A = this chain, B = another copy of it.
Amino acid sequence: MVAAKPRAQRPGATRTNDPERTKADILAVASQEFAESGYSGGRVDEIAERTKTSKRMIYYYFGSKDGLYQAVLLEYYAKLRGAEAELHLEGQPPLQAIQRLIEFTYDWHITHADGVRLVMVENIHRARHLSALPSIEPVNSKVIQLVESMLARGVTEGVIRKGVNALDFYLSIAALCYFSVSNRYTINAIFGYDMGASENFAARRGAILEMLLRSIAP
């Protein structure tokens, strides 16, 4: 007949027979889609189309759009916590460790814009999906305790002033690093400055680092 194109699947869809690969494939595409368009704006059809498998598999593996989105979130946080753990800050001198943490946090956000967008989306939804996660263990972070011990050591060593609250300090690190990515577009529209442009990376990184370190100096 004519232009009747019922989202048919690709004829040569290779039957993977590798559930883990299939799931990872779906997850990767879904992550992009949700990061790009939000939860409501994300289309299951679209995800299915860009996936090597069919739409039915999404439901087979993830149950629902909601389930898929949760899986995407979980994967993002697991990856982030994994990277944090790799830092091995415990053994390092406090100031150096703190500097490393700030730089890592900045670099992570800059290189994981999609993740930042997922977090934005999730906050729009008041962390509904995150809270509904069966196990938040992979999401939980020990970073606060870590910062606490680093600050304490720094105070002892006389390189950090007394009275810095670890939670407050970490939230400030997160805020400053996150904002560069999260608000890139509105800031650019209003102030004509693209925080996300690569030529501005280093400067903004330095400014954030300096501000944070000065704020805890003795």
Chain A residues at the B interface, C-beta cutoff of 8 Å: 1-6, 19-20, 23-24, 27, 37-41, 60-64, 66-67, 70-71, 74-75, 77, 117, 119-136, 139-141, 144, 165, 167-168, 171-172, 174-176, 178-180, 182-191, 193, 195, 203-204, 207-208, 210-212, 214-215, 217
Contacts and interface: CB of A to CB of B under 8 A. Distances in A.
Going nearest first, the 7 A-B pairs with the smallest beta carbon separation are A175-B179, A40-B41, A127-B185, A40-B40, A168-B207, A211-B215, A1-B66
A151 to B, nearest CB: 13
A58 to B, nearest CB: 10
A204 B168 contact: yes
Contacts of A1: 19-20, 23-24, 27, 61, 64, 66, 71, 74-75, 128-129, 132
B207 A141 contact: no
Contact of A171 (B37, B133, B179, B185): B179
A116 to B, nearest CB: 9
19 contacts: A1-B19, A1-B75, A2-B62, A2-B71, A2-B134, A3-B64, A3-B70, A3-B134, A38-B38, A39-B41, A119-B183, A120-B124, A130-B189, A136-B189, A168-B211, A172-B176, A175-B175, A175-B179, A176-B176
